[in-house]
Structure 1
Amino acid sequence: MTFRLYDTQTREVRDFVPLREGKAGLYVCGLTVQSEPHVGHVRSGVNFDVLQRWLRHLGYEVTFIRNITDIDDKILIKSAEQGRPWYNLAYDMSRQLDAAYAALNVAPPTYEPLATGHIPEMIELIGQLIERGHAYPAEDGSGDVYFDVRSWSSYGELTHQGVDDMEPAADADPRGKRDPRDFALWKGRKDSEPETASWPSPWGRGRPGWHIECSAMAGKYLGTAFDIHGGGVDLRFPHHENELAQSRAAGGDFATYWMHNAWITTAGEKMSKSLGNTLSIPAILEKYRGIELRYYIVSAHYRSHVEFSFEALDEAAVGFRRVERFLERAYGELGEVPSGGEPPTAFADAMNDDLGTPAAVAVLHDAVRDGNRFIADGATASLRDTTRAVRAMLDVLGLDPADPAWATPAGSAGDDALKGAVDALVAGLLEERAAAREAKDWARADAIRDRIKAAGIEVTDTPDGPTWTVD
């Protein structure tokens, strides 16, 4: 079955046909690093991480670009409020974002460009738009440069809007605009802004507008035409609409497909700093492992809005622990947790149907139930095949507990490191108990078992030796 995806622009589920055979170019709008990341922020990272994992599983060579906006009005405002340089705030928040992605096993992209590292490319692109008659410097002496939306007849094609039905752009003073809907490509420096937040340009010192940043970075690393452009659904307008217009007006084809992940909401509203309903990643990882939070996000379809609740996260954590318990039991039976398998056909069908992760997760749990039955029946060969399939599915979803990414404290809120330490301690006690039993010192053996049980650990004696689980 061919991989099919919902294209936001055409509003249809379409077969994925790459521009270059065997290769896939993916650009995802990253975050504006103005504040610490919360659950709503990282959903996009997780969803598009699953996409690139699936494309690679299908055999594509993926070039995955995810940018960081490290210069922006909001960054300047927040840094001034906090009394520190804007670049210090952006760098600090970028590091926190990296830690949040690592905690959820979001693989690094092929490259993660910073907006401030690509000012020359942005200036060049703006110059091309002026030459083609699609942009103009403001005549009010501000140093601003605007995109002329009336000059591009296809403006509004992504979101299916007419220019006259759109709200005026709110990214610059309207005095220098020919049309209130024209948007800023370059923003002349204001006296109230730090000198370090501006760069020389043919139109005077200033800084880029938000929209031109992504067009320039996508063009540099993926070319003027590439396969998939992704981001949060809130970016469709005006950000992605403006990206598409300016990129095509400059002569490129830009993205073939547009994919947008839905929000994580609280009380029915988008999770955001402005609404004051955020839940930071470090705070959540004090109560849950990163692998459980990722499972919670992956279990929902990327285009479905998710109403966040700790009750739902609790249920997700319990559901994932069933998978982990199966792998532990399989290890007890097989002496290993075999890998190298292929996902079942039903799983592949679900993933090929616009990344249908809810159906894919259901297939995963069906396989776990089968595996537990094979353990009960002593069907070792079937258990081995099923375990391989389970691990193949988990790998695609970024949820394999054996992935080294989960073996660090940052990758699982410290629980994996703690489990390793506990495992070593319990193993030592079990060796003492085995020695006592061999010496027929039943009282000491029972005392050691009671000591382990008092710590909340249940020991089960099996023909292959004792195993333990947290009670």
Structure 2
Amino acid sequence: MMKMFNTMTLAKEDFQPMHEGKISMYVCGPTVYNYIHIGNARSAIAFDTIRRYFEYRGYEVNYVSNFTDVDDKMIKAAAAQGITVPELADKYIAAFNEDTTALNIKPATVRPRATEHITEIIDFVTDLVNKGYAYESAGDVYYRAKKFKNYGALAHQNLQDMTSNAAGRLDDVELARKEDPMDFTVWKGENGDGAIAWDSPWGKGRPGWHIECSVMSTKYLGNHFDIHGGGIDLAFPHHTNEIAQSEVHTGEQFVNMWLHNGFVTVGDENEKMSKSLGNFVTVHDLLQQIDDPMVLRFFMATTQYRRAIAYSTNNMAQAGKNLDRIRTGYRNLQFRLQDALVGDDEQIMTQANEYITAFKAAMDDDFNAPNALTAIYGLVDLANQYANAQEVHQQTAQFILDTIATLMGVFGVDGLAQDELLEDDIDALIKERDEARAAKNFARSDEIRDLLAQQDIILEDTPQGTRWHR
């Protein structure tokens, strides 16, 4: 049985979905006022990998992830660019789709936008007001946080400390509006900028951030669902507030499992990424700088999702070498398919299946990606050994290749096979080189090797013929 670390209990728990064979899962998406940064990408990759593993194990996953397409940051960014808030949202949602496609992140089952759910949000807030959990003040509507039993349980923080910290962040105007510093906004009155607002029982305004996810998650997954995920920085206040307002509104437990991914640090000094430190890295810019997006995907997907991940050029370079190791092993065995015999090798098949079992055991243990990757490395070593065997059997070779591709697919990494677009040209040059060597024209043979090396093509002369890899 799968075990997952539930942030609510701070313990690994057995996971049993509410409905057999089906998993309902909500992951908080970005606020689309800029290109996503690598912290956003880390969360998207982590939960895409978890989703892919569920699907590998045969589950049907209803995966919902939102866009926050209206808030103060968006209003400010739209004004700076001289466009409307919806135009800004469309611009950066298109960029999000482009960047996540490059990183092989699967589209969500549903990708709702907050502005498409204003009616549902107003109805939700109205219910909170009617139940005495929310109140209007100067056009804003606030939720009475401390009225909710066990408020802050997900954050595992002392309520008195939380209250003091909240009071310290507020100005005098907002303190005067609130009954308690811990109260949070569920509806924000128009501030006179005229940028974007909707009519409501409390005057023109727009949704608070926290209410959006409560409305969209329960609309598409029901009042009570399996898994809610996001970055660990969202545990408080965002997810804490989602729980409070959702459970009052529905009268049901909101979520069974809370999963949170770790931070991203930047540079060899492992500084937490932030705009103030000047180490803010957008995926859009990064994809222009790296040759292979799969290296970034591999780097992030193969770190255990709860651990902090240290982004640096050195760590990316190491990830590239590790991915090359896997691709080379895959291609070595792929090369031997051309002279493979019909049949299989029982002993090799047994070893391959042992690595599959080890992979599943690792991922079943709170998605332990590093241990799962160790099992893949074992398969790659087996592929290399088998590629050098005197005889190779087709069924066994293909099984190993398919298994490596499938398990790497759980991590969202593809492109293991040779690049078919250049394969004919490379094969033609290798044939010409073989003919030159046979004719003892070593100058031309060396010239071809050097030409291919300039294109990062490495040749290996083996008893079975000349192999190549990138």
Q: TM-score range by the shorter chain?
A: 0.7 to 0.9
Question: 141, 148, 154: which is aligned to 1:152?
Answer: 148
SS at match of 2:362: helix
Which residue of structure 1 aligns with residue 261 of structure 2? Answer: 261
Query: Does residue 385 of structure 2 align to residue 373 of structure 1?
Result: yes
User: Contact 2:304 / 2:367 at 8 angstroms: preserved in 1?
Assistant: yes
SS at match of 1:47: helix
Q: CA deviation at 1:98?
A: 1.4
Q: Which amino acid aligns with 1:192?
A: D
- Shift in CA distance, 420/375, structure 1 to aligned 2, threshold 3 Å: closer
Query: Does residue 285 of structure 2 align to residue 283 of structure 1?
Result: yes
Question: 408, 411, 416: which is aligned to 1:394?
Answer: 408
Q: CA deviation at 1:175?
A: 2.6
Q: CA deviation at 1:265?
A: 0.8
Q: Which amino acid aligns with 1:206?
A: G
Q: CA deviation at 1:279?
A: 1.9
Which residue of structure 1 aligns with residue 375 of structure 2? Answer: 363
1:266-345 matches, within 5 Å, as 266=266, 267-285=269-287, 286-335=289-338, 344-345=356-357
User: Contact 1:133 / 1:151 at 8 angstroms: preserved in 2?
Assistant: no
Which residue of structure 2 aligns with residue 180 of structure 1? Answer: 181
User: Contact 1:40 / 1:272 at 8 angstroms: preserved in 2?
Assistant: no
User: Contact 1:28 / 1:66 at 8 angstroms: preserved in 2?
Assistant: yes
Question: 426, 433, 447: which is aligned to 2:444?
Answer: 447
User: Contact 2:434 / 2:445 at 8 angstroms: preserved in 1?
Assistant: no
Aligned equivalents of 1:178, 1:298: Cα separation in 2: 44
Q: CA deviation at 1:101?
A: 1.0
Which residue of structure 2 aligns with residue 127 of structure 1? Answer: 126
The answer for unaligned runs of 5 or more in structure 1 is 404-415
- Shift in CA distance, 125/252, structure 1 to aligned 2, threshold 3 Å: farther
Aligned equivalents of 1:56, 1:468: Cα separation in 2: 34
Q: What TM-score does the superposition give when structure 1 sets the normalisation length?
A: 0.88
Q: CA deviation at 1:334?
A: 1.3
User: Contact 2:302 / 2:411 at 8 angstroms: preserved in 1?
Assistant: no
Which residue of structure 2 aligns with residue 241 of structure 1? Answer: 240
Higher mean C-alpha displacement, 312-321 vs 277-286: 277-286
Q: CA deviation at 1:449?
A: 5.6
Q: Please list the CA deviations of residues 38-96 of structure 1 after superposition, one character each: whole Å capped at 9, or x if unmatched.
A: 22220001000111111112221110001111111111122223333222222222222
Q: Which amino acid aligns with 1:280?
A: T
Which residue of structure 2 aligns with residue 411 of structure 1? Answer: none
Q: CA deviation at 1:105?
A: 0.6
User: Contact 2:329 / 2:383 at 8 angstroms: preserved in 1?
Assistant: yes
Q: What TM-score does the superposition give when structure 2 sets the normalisation length?
A: 0.88
Q: Which amino acid aligns with 1:249?
A: V
SS at match of 2:29: coil
Which residue of structure 2 aligns with residue 468 of structure 1? Answer: 468
Query: Does residue 350 of structure 2 align to residue 350 of structure 1?
Result: no
Aligned equivalents of 1:80, 1:291: Cα separation in 2: 36
Q: Which amino acid aligns with 1:353?
A: D
Aligned equivalents of 1:396, 1:228: Cα separation in 2: 19
Q: CA deviation at 1:227?
A: 0.4
SS at match of 1:344: helix
SS at match of 1:173: helix
RMSD (Å), alpha carbons:
2.6
Which residue of structure 2 aligns with residue 30 of structure 1? Answer: 29
Q: CA deviation at 1:336?
A: 10
The answer for unaligned runs of 5 or more in structure 2 is none
Aligned equivalents of 1:105, 1:453: Cα separation in 2: 34
User: Contact 1:426 / 1:452 at 8 angstroms: preserved in 2?
Assistant: no
Q: CA deviation at 1:34?
A: 1.7
Question: 168, 174, 177: which is aligned to 2:166?
Answer: 168
Aligned equivalents of 1:73, 1:274: Cα separation in 2: 19
